[in-house]
Amino acid sequence: MKSKETNSIRTQSERSQHREHSVPIYMTSSFVFESAEHGRELFAEEVPGNIYTRFSNPNTTEFVEKMCKLENAEEGFAFASGMAAVFSGMAALLKSGDHVLASRSLFGSTHQILTKIFPKWGIEHTYVDADKPETWEKEIKPNTKMIFVETPSNPSLEIIDLEWLGKLKQKHNLILNVDNCFSTPIIQRPADYGADLVTHSATKFIDGQGRVIGGIVVGKKELIAEIRFFARQTGPALSPFNAWILSKSLETLQLRIEKHSANALQLAETLKENSEILFVKYPFLPTHPSYELAKKQMKYGGGIVTIRVKGGYERAKRFLDSLNICSLSANLGDTRTIVTHPASTTHSKLTEEERIAVGIFPDLVRISVGLESVEDIINDIKQAIEKSK
Ligand SMILES: *Cc1c(COP(=O)(O)O)cnc(C)c1O
């Protein structure tokens, strides 16, 4: 097996007669059959091949193949958004009466699916806390089918032991589904610990340049077959154009993750010394509650740093409004540094109580550290801290 770097650069769909070096974009809704019989064979899945872009397309297939190699997974399906991937990966495999064990600290919309949408269809869930692993096994019920976690979580940066989780799922014969959005396969590969499914919002670090929305689920062949059936019928497929962007983006993923992580670590170390900041959280800072675990399972610390500013929500707002270079946006994983206030934006649909339970305090600010010069990022954040006093 080739290295991750080589696979992410050299995996490419077959060249056309034009011998192009960079893969073309296949902007086509359907594909022609060589004969009536060929059409029948394709639909009967007796021969491989593209039929219709809702099912598959060369650009999407290339992106999926690369991601499978990077995540060490058998198969995958690409989606129009990270949420389409999260939703389809669960909805395709769960039925009325099933139960999901989920880590409490989850992306806002994933939380809404579990608490507002699935209950309508009789799918229940229990939240468990990352810092209380001893409680997880007790919450597994006879109807528990799936464990769904984020590690590190958005935005709380909670870390769950993947090796332990792999053993827990094995013991109880559950489907382990890991949202690996904050890490990407460059930092950790959940499948190496036994995860059955690895889910991504490709919008974030995978695109990495803030251009497209996309998502993907990769994992065990038989589970992906069910997800593929569900997605073919319900239609959340990724567009060929977005797949082309995402596949090209993977060519620079290794370099970008290294630089995001180096910049984020330097920023976190600098902010740790600032008396106007209550707390700095970053997986590779020794003050992170799960520092040892982060060092064990993550190759780099990732691009996200969170801080709690002194002076509550009002100070946090003044801080955001004082930034000159960093962008105010709800996205993350961009080349450009983005500063977000989760309580009033990405996690505003949660109740105050639900937010506090996962560490989303009114003074919490999430910084997605970009690829600009780290000195410029640090100086902009420092001056905004001073100005917002
Ligand atoms: C952004 C995000 C999602 C949702 O992805 P979209 O591409 O915005 O639909 C899911 N999980 C995590 C951890 C995210 O950060």
User: pLDDT digit string (tens) for 289-345?
Assistant: 999 999 999 999 999 999 999 999 999 999 999 999 999 999 999 999 999 999 999
The answer for residues whose C-beta is within 8 angstroms of residue 372's C-beta and 6 or more apart is 263, 325, 335, 336, 337
Pocket flag, ligand 1, residue 334 (CB < 6 Å): no
Q: What is the CATH number of domain 253-387?
A: 3.90.1150.10
Q: What is the pTM of this model?
A: 0.96
Closest to 8 (Cα-Cα) out of 67, 74, 76, 75: 67
- Give the model's pLDDT for residue 142: 98
Residue 349 has pLDDT above 90, yes or no: no
Residue 231 has pLDDT above 90, yes or no: yes
Locate the DSSP E strands across the chain: 75-79, 99-103, 124-128, 144-150, 175-179, 197-201, 215-219, 277-281, 304-309, 327-328, 338-340, 364-368
Distance 18 CA to ligand 1 centre (A): 37
Closest to 216 (Cα-Cα) out of 86, 334, 93: 86
pLDDT band at 350 (very low <50, low <70, confident <90, very high): confident
User: Could you tell me whether strands 175-179 and 197-201 are parallel, antiparallel, or unpaired per DSSP bridges?
Assistant: parallel
Contact, 141 vs 99, CB < 8 A?
yes
Pocket flag, ligand 1, residue 83 (CB < 6 Å): yes
Q: What DSSP element (H or E) covers 250? A: helix 240-250
The answer for residues whose C-beta is within 8 angstroms of residue 358's C-beta and 6 or more apart is 104, 105, 106, 153, 156, 158
CA distance 354 to 387: 31
CA distance 69 to 62: 11
| Mean pLDDT of all residues in 147-166 | 97
Residue 16 has pLDDT above 70, yes or no: yes
- Give the model's pLDDT for residue 4: 86
Give domain limits for the chain.
4-252, 253-387
Domain 4-252 listed as CATH 3.40.50.720: no
Contact, 57 vs 26, CB < 8 A?
yes
Q: Indicate which residue's Cα is closest to atom 1 of ligand 1.
A: 201
The answer for residues whose C-beta is within 8 angstroms of residue 175's C-beta and 6 or more apart is 93, 145, 146, 147, 169, 196, 197, 223
Contact, 280 vs 331, CB < 8 A?
no
Pocket test for ligand 1, best of 83, 104, 112, 151 (most atoms within 8 A of CB): 83
CA distance 306 to 309: 10
Distance 221 CA to ligand 1 centre (A): 24
| Mean pLDDT of all residues in 371-385 | 98
Pocket flag, ligand 1, residue 215 (CB < 6 Å): yes
Residue 1 has pLDDT above 70, yes or no: no
Pocket test for ligand 1, best of 81, 103, 107 (most atoms within 8 A of CB): 107
